[in-house]
Structure 1
Amino acid sequence: MASDGKLHAEIECKSNADKIWPSIRDFVNVYLEAFPPGTYKNVEILEGDGTHPGSVRRLTYGEGAPVVTLTEKIEIIDDEKRIYGFSIMEGDLLKYYKSFKARVQVFPKGEGSLLKWSCDYEKLSDDVPEPTLVKDFAVTGFKHLDEYSSKQA
């Protein structure tokens, strides 16, 4: 019988919450500049504008990523609470998980910020490992977004 699970991560950032939130919220518009070359091969908007709830986008990752492609639907963007969340509709993760949802919330912390990331998933079988590689990739991604955001005016 498959099991449900949840992973969490906290990422301390030097960028303040008002600087890093736009980079997270508008990822589709900054990913080419914010990430090292080859991290993403393509981000394609399939529905909506790619930055609002209901938008659907397909991400194609470069070598070294835990997956090759994902199609995700933005479920929530709350500018006041700085929450961004999505669910996976198609792609490599669904070979292992019946469902996969992730979200991040940005909190002010001193002169910087604290990002709280979490994912909820349901394994297709008990043999499937927790998605720690996905968590690690997300944490690394947020560190790149922090570096990018700290250099913005």
Structure 2
Amino acid sequence: MGRLEVEVEAKSSADKLWEAIKDVTNLLTIFPDRYKSVDLLEGDGKSVGSIILLKYVEATPGLTFLKERIEEANDTNKSLSYSVIDGELLGLYKTFKVSLQVVPKGDGSLVKWSLEFEKASEQIPEPSFVKTFTVQTFEGLDAYIQKP
């Protein structure tokens, strides 16, 4: 098993950022340059067992869609974890599980994000592109929240 971690500082309060992260359907509005569609296949998209289908724009290299299932969702701790259950990534990685937590930090907040993955073979590189994508997503989400 491999693991990647990153922390992203945000100007938005932990409460505001958490609410934005939980509302996965916002991704389409905030990042039309990344997502073609975001569909809830099961559940409300915020609670355990929900299944979300993300379709990416053509400009996203090697990725057309991703289906993820929420494994944990805790409003009190502002934490969430989900597993990729379908999509091109599973051709490269046997498991792909993301965990995140939003914690207050001064007037803003801090997103603690981690990815656990298992490569399908030793030739597969670490998914470091996901780390970059994640940082850009949280920074973009924070900027969106900060808009007047």
Q: So what's the TM-score if we normalise by structure 2?
A: 0.94
RMSD: 1.3
In the alignment, the residues of structure 1 paired with residue 131 and residue 55 of structure 2 have an alpha-carbon distance, to the nearest angstrom, of 17
How far residue 56 of structure 1 moved from its aligned partner, in angstroms, is 0.5
Which of 130, 142, 147 aligns to 2:138? It is: 142
For 1:52, the equivalent position in structure 2 comes to 47
Work out which of the residue numbers 8, 20, 34 in structure 2 matches 1:11: 8
Contact 1:38 1:63 in 2 (8 A): no
Aligned length in residues: 147
Question: Would you say the 8 A contact 1:65–1:137 is kept in 2?
Answer: no
Q: Partners of 2:98 and 2:134 in 1: how far apart?
A: 10
Q: Secondary structure at the match of 2:45?
A: coil
Q: Please tell me the residue identity of whatever aligns with 1:133.
A: F
Unaligned runs of 5+ residues in structure 1 are none
In 2, the alpha carbon distance for the partners of 1:129 and 1:90 equals 19
Which residue in the other structure is 1:89 paired with? Answer: 85
**Aligned partner of 1:47: which letter?**
E
1:103 aligned partner, one-letter code: S
Task: State the AA in 2 paired with 1:10.
Answer: E
Residue 116 of structure 2 corresponds to which residue in structure 1? 120
Partners of 2:43 and 2:101 lie apart in 1 by 22
Q: Detail structure 1 runs of 4+ shifted over 4 Å in the superposition.
A: none
Over the matched positions of the two proteins, sequence identity in percent amounts to 46
Which residue of structure 1 lines up, in the alignment, with residue 58 of structure 2?
Answer: 63
Q: Distance in 1 between matches of 2:146 and 2:37?
A: 24
TM-score scaled to structure 1, two decimals? 0.91
Deviations 1:23-45 (A, max 9, x none): 001122x122222x221001111
Unaligned runs of 5+ in 2: none
Structure with the bigger RCO (C-alpha within 8 Å, sep 6+) is 1
Q: What is the DSSP-based 3-state SS (H/G/I as helix, E as strand, rest coil) of the residue aligned with 1:50? A: coil
Q: Deviations over 1:100-123 (max 9, x none)?
A: 000110011111111010000000
